[in-house]
Amino acid sequence: MPADGTDPDAAAAGRLRLEINDLCKEFYRTGGERVRAVDQVSVDVHPGEILVLLGPSGCGKSTLLRCVAGLEQPDRGRMLIDGAVVYDGEAGTMVPAHRRDVNMMFQSYALWPHMSLRDNVAYPLRVQGASRKQARAKADDYLELVGLPGLGRQYVSTISGGQQQRVALARTLINEPSVVLFDEPLSNVDAKVRSQLRRELLRIHQELGFAAVYVTHDQIEAMGLGTRIAILRDGGVEQLADPVTIYEEPATRQVAEFVGEANLIPARVTRVSGEVAVLDCVFGEIEIAAARLSGSAADGDRRAQPAEGAAVVLMVRPEHCRLVRDPAGGGGANSWAATVDATMYAGSRTEYSCQVGTGQLTVWELATPHPLRAGAAVRVEIPREVVRVVEAG
């Protein structure tokens, strides 16, 4: 009998909605090659939380989600939904999808074309044994909640893609599952509709307070929706933290690269004096906060401070770099003469690609009415506090 927090006291409101322990799932490709789609993943979902699974294509997000839903049978590990075991590799427990207290919204919406929208939404209630009348009444309420009042009699083929998404959302939420699963629900509509639906989803989440696991490969969506974000790579969890931490203090170089734009600067530690560490990089000398060398505070796993001479990789977000238009001005620490290689005007900001020494640096300048031309001589500056160490040793 596995030992975990199943004593009755824990069955309070604060109980975890979803616990995943060391879950593994392998696929065999045609030809026999093994793919570790989910590799020893352990995550929890708290009540009212949206946990976002973010990662590049093929990293196993969908597979993990489908394991939670019961549509895919994992190979090893353990899963509890609302405190009840739904999968235990050792005990051989596998609760089928329809007996798990979850519901899932599919990327393709998976609305049934032979039922009216109202019957689509009412289906989970009908399955639970609600009368047709009750189920339909509640379905109408939910259609209204998602902003589609009065469309209950229509059929799927007569409504737009964005509307279909809303119907799918209503169907997913109507039986108030312990955990709501979303597999890239917004990826099939254009950017405008997507951001509108994102806001709507947040509103509905605030109203209903459900717990959710949300798969996406869109970072804006992840940042906007996630209470916490789990970055997945090759089936494993690379970092699990709130959006600000993920962006500002990426645990690894891959996270830094995947979330947002990042300048990655290989460097070598020359000396550490008190608060400040001095390193050597392609730009010349660079100063950073010495505390950064031993890992970020939020990271939890502090690493040993690299010795002098050790190689590290630094990360700076382009919007944290400053561009000084007077090439002679400035001076001091972390300020270098540079040439603008390429300029890309993007409205709210201008993106410069600069040649600094023998290296390249991307700098974003916010709200610039007069972008510089390529070839302009400038200075770039990197404030000491914004430099992170994403790889050491």
Partner 1 sequence: MGDNRTATATRPARPGAPARRSGAAGRLGRSPFSLVTALIAVGVLALVLFPLGRMVVRAFEGFGHQRWESLVGAPWFSGMLRDTVVVVGASAVIALLVAALLAWINERTDAGIGMLGDVLPLVPLFLPTVAMAVGWVLLANPDVGLLNGALGVVLEPLGISYEFNIFSYPGLILVYVLNLVPFAYLPIAAGFRSMDPSLEEAARVSGARASRVLRTVSLPAIGPAVLAGLLLVMVVGFALYSVPVIIGTRPDIDILAVRIIRSIRQTYPPAYDDAVLLSTMLLALLLVLWVAQRRLVGSGQFARIGSRSTGSSRIELGPWRWPMRSLLWLYVTLAAVLPILALGIVSFQTYWQPDLLASEWTFAHYERILFGYPLGQRSVENSLFLGLVGGGITVLVAALVIVYAHRRRNLLGKVADAVAKLPAAVPNTVLALAFVLALAGPPFQLGATLLILALAYFVVYIPYASIASEASVASVDNSMEEASGVSGAGEGRTFARILVPLMAPGLFAAWALVFVRILGDLPVAVLLGTGRTPVIGFVLLDVWDQGIFNRVAALALVMTAITVPVVMVMMWLGRPRWRRAKRARAYRARA
Ligand X SMILES: Nc1ncnc2c1ncn2[C@@H]1O[C@H](COP(=O)(O)OP(=O)(O)OP(=O)(O)O)[C@@H](O)[C@H]1O
Residues contributing to the site for ligand X (CB under 6 A)? 27, 29, 35, 37, 55, 57-63, 217
| 106: contact with partner 1 by CB under 8 A | yes
> Is the Cβ–Cβ distance between 340 and 371 less than 8 Å?
no
Please answer whether residues 391 and 253 qualify as being in contact, where contact means their C-beta atoms are separated by less than 8 angstroms: yes
Q: 158: exposed, middle or buried (C-beta count within 10 Å: 0-12, 13-18, 19+)?
A: exposed
- Closest by Cα among 350, 351, 325 to 339: 325
62 binds Mg ion (CB under 5 A): yes
Interaction of residue 75 with partner 1, rule CB under 8 A: no
Least CB distance from residue 384 to partner 1, whole Å? 50
- Closest to Mg ion by CB, 36 vs 46, is 36
Q: Is 63 in the site for Mg ion (CB under 5 A)?
A: no
Structural contact between residues 293 and 279, judged by C-beta atoms closer than 8 angstroms: no
Contacting partner 1 within 224-263 (CB under 8 A)? none
Closer to ligand X by CB, 231 or 382: give it.
231
Which of residues 52, 53, 102, 363 is near partner 1 by CB under 8 A?
102
What is the smallest separation between the CB atom of 110 and partner 1, expressed in angstroms?
4
73 counts as binding partner 1 under rule CB under 8 A: yes
Considering only residues 8 to 37 of the shown chain, the ones binding partner 1 according to CB under 8 A are: 8, 11
Give least dist CB 298 to ligand X, A. Answer: 25
**Judged by CB under 8 A, does residue 114 bind partner 1?**
yes
CB 272 within 8 A of CB 256: no
Which of ligand X, Mg ion, partner 1, none binds 362 (CB below 5-8 Å, type-dependent)?
Answer: none
Q: With respect to partner 1, which residue has the nearer C-beta, 114 or 192?
A: 114
Please, what is the end-to-end C-alpha distance for the chain in angstroms?
Answer: 42
Q: Is 94 in the site for partner 1 (CB under 8 A)?
A: yes
Cβ-closest position to ligand X: 62
Among 392, 377, 293, residue whose Cα is nearest residue 338: 377
CB 135 to partner 1: min, Å: 12
Helix, strand, or coil here: 286? strand
User: Which of Mg ion, ligand X, partner 1, none binds 60 (CB below 5-8 Å, type-dependent)?
Assistant: ligand X
Smallest gap from residue 1 Cβ to ligand X (A): 32
Residues 6 or more apart in contact with residue 258 via CB below 8 angstroms:
54, 55, 56, 219, 231, 233
The two tokens of residue 297 are 């505070």
309 phi-psi bin (left φ>0, alpha ψ -120 to 50, beta other): left
